[in-house]
Chain A
Amino acid sequence: MQIERTTLAWLRTGLTFVVGLMVLLRLLVHRSAVAAAVCAAVAIPLAVAITVLSWSRHRQAERRLRAEDPLPDGALHASLTALAVLAGLIGTVYVLLM
C-alpha cells in the first residue's frame, strides 16, 4: 500500500514534468526553434525515462520488501532533481529570449 502510494506520487510527478515541458517547449518554439529542439531532445526523453523507471522501481521495491532486503536507493531522486533544475533553466531561457 505504501509502495503503491509512493509509486503513484512518482508517476504523478513524472507525468507533470512531461506535460509541463511540452507546454514550455511549445512556447519556446515561437522564440527560438533551435533552442526548443535542443531542449526537447534532452529534457523530454529524460522525463519519460524517469516516469518509466519509477514503475520498474515499484516492482523492485515490492520484491525487495518481500525478501526483506533494503529498498531501492536515491539515484532516481538525483535524476529527478537534475530534470527539475534543467526545466528551470529552460524556463529562464524562454523568459530571457526576446
Chain B
Amino acid sequence: MASENDDPACRRWPHRLYGVGDEPDPRFTLANERTFLAWIRTALALMAAGVGVEALNAAAGTGSDPLRTSLAVLLLLAGVVCSVAAFGRWMTMERALRTNSPLPPPKLAPILGFGLGLIGLGALALLLISGF
C-alpha cells in the first residue's frame, strides 16, 4: 500500500515502471491518475448496469430468463475487463510519460463504445420481446 519510506526515489511500486525513464512533470502524472480513476468509474457503471438488469428482473418477480442473465453477466465481465485494462493503461501512459514517447491511443474506447451500443440495442430488443 502507499506506505511512507525514507527514500521516495527508490522502492516505488511497480518497479518495472519506475525503473525506466525519468520523472515527468507532476501535473501529467496527476492527470494520468485522474484518467485511470475515470476508467475505473466507467467499469463500476458497467457493473452497476449488470447488477441493475438482474435486480429489476428480480423486483418484477419474473422468472429467470437466460437471455437477461447473460446480458447481466456480459455487463459485469465488461466491467471487470475495463478495470484491469484501466490499470494496464495507467502503466502504459506513465511509461510513455517517463520515456517522453508519444501517448498510445485508448484501445478499449472504440470497443467499449460500439459494444455498449450493441448492448443497448440488445436490451431494447429484450424489452420489446418481453413486452412493457
Which residue numbers of A lie inside 8 Å of B, CB to CB? 2-3, 5-6, 9-10, 12-13, 16-17, 20, 24, 27, 30, 49, 53, 56-57, 60, 64-65, 69-81, 84-85, 87-89, 91-92, 94-96, 98
Contact = CB atoms under 8 A, between A and B. Distances in A.
Contacts of B29: 71
B102 interface: no
Interface residues of B, number: 48
A77 B51 contact: no
Contact of A88 (B34, B58, B76): B76
A94 B76 CA distance: 11
Q: Label chain A's interface by main secondary structure.
A: helix
Interface of B: 1-4, 8-9, 12-14, 17-18, 23, 26-27, 29-31, 33-34, 36-38, 40-41, 43-44, 47-48, 50-51, 54-55, 58, 64, 69, 72-73, 76-77, 79-80, 83-84, 86-87, 90-91, 94
